[in-house]
Amino acid sequence: MQVFPVNNEAFNNSLAACEGLLTGGGFEGPAEALFLQKKVMMIPMKGQYEQQCNALAASKLGVPVIYDIDDQFVYHINNWISSENKITVNFPDETAQIIADMIKRYAKNK
C-alpha cells in the first residue's frame, strides 16, 4: 500500500494501474474504481451523511466498508489486500433515452 499527496493526473494514472482502491465514502472515486473493475474498500467519514449513504449503497453491491477503526482494522485491511474481491457492475448507458424522454416531456409542456 502506498499513500500519495493530492494530484489529479497522478491519481488517474495510479487508479488505472492499481489493483484496488481504499477510499473514503465519496462518490466519484469508488464509482470510477468499480467501472475500471478494481476492488474497492470504503471508510466513510463519521458525521458525513452523504458518505454514509454512499457507503451503504456500495455495501449493497458487495463493497466492504469499515465504519470503525478498532482492534480489527488491520485484520480487515490485510484481508482486503489479499483478496481478489472485485465487484462487477453493469449499469446500462441510458443517457440517450433519458435525454429523449426529457425533450419529449418539455415539448409536451410548452
Which domains can be identified in the chain, with CATH numbers?
8-109 (3.40.50)
Owner of C-alpha cell 463493497? 63
Tell me, what's the pLDDT at 86? 86
CB proximity list for 83: less than 8 A, separation 6 or greater:
39
Mean pLDDT, rounded, for 12-21: 93
Mean pLDDT, rounded, for 7-30: 92
Residue 102: strand, helix, or coil: helix
Residue 74: strand, helix, or coil: helix
How far is residue 21 from each of residues 32, 76, 84, 97, measured CA to CA in Å? 10, 14, 12, 32
pLDDT single digits (tens) 31-85:
999 999 999 999 999 999 999 999 999 999 999 999 999 999 999 999 999 998 8
Looking at residue 40, the DSSP 8-state letter turns out to be E
| Global pTM value | 0.77
